[in-house]
Amino acid sequence: MVNPWRGDVEIVLDGERHLMRLTLGALAELELALGADNLIALAERFEGAAFTSRDVLAVIVAGLRGGGWSGSSAELMHVQIEGGPLAAARAAADLLARAFMMPSEG
């Protein structure tokens, strides 16, 4: 069950619902995958709409792994994301926002 207070975001891949969450391990993987100096800079890229499709894919992979998925980014190259690229970008932005949201901001 998706719990936004825990940072959960849902995404539908090939008709199957998946839970995404940016755990500390998932955030570390994301930082490494994107060669980011820090995650705040990555979050700012999403806020300013200066992100790339590679950024979106990396955030989704990290979120899926944080939610318990054991796949790879290569597997996502061939899936149908419900809502298309715009929905994927929105889900990635939601994941980052929820990962850095203070409990009182909800």
User: Model confidence over 74-91: pLDDT tens digits?
Assistant: 988 889 999 999 999 999
Q: Considering the domain boundaries, does residue 18 fall inside one?
A: yes
Q: Considering the domain boundaries, does residue 106 fall inside one?
A: no
Condensed to tens digits (0 to 9), the pLDDT of residues 17-60 reads 999 999 888 888 888 888 777 777 777 777 777 778 888 899 99
- Given this model, what pLDDT does residue 37 score? 77
Are the C-beta atoms of residues 18 and 12 closer than 8 Å to each other? yes
Torsion, Cα 44 34 72 93, to 10 degrees, reads: 0
Q: Considering the domain boundaries, does residue 96 fall inside one?
A: yes
Q: What is the average pLDDT across 12-21? A: 95
The structural domain count of the chain equals: 1
- Given this model, what pLDDT does residue 24 score? 87
Domain that holds residue 68: 4-100
**Greater pLDDT, 49 or 13:** 13
Q: Which helix (H) or strand (E) holds 72?
A: none
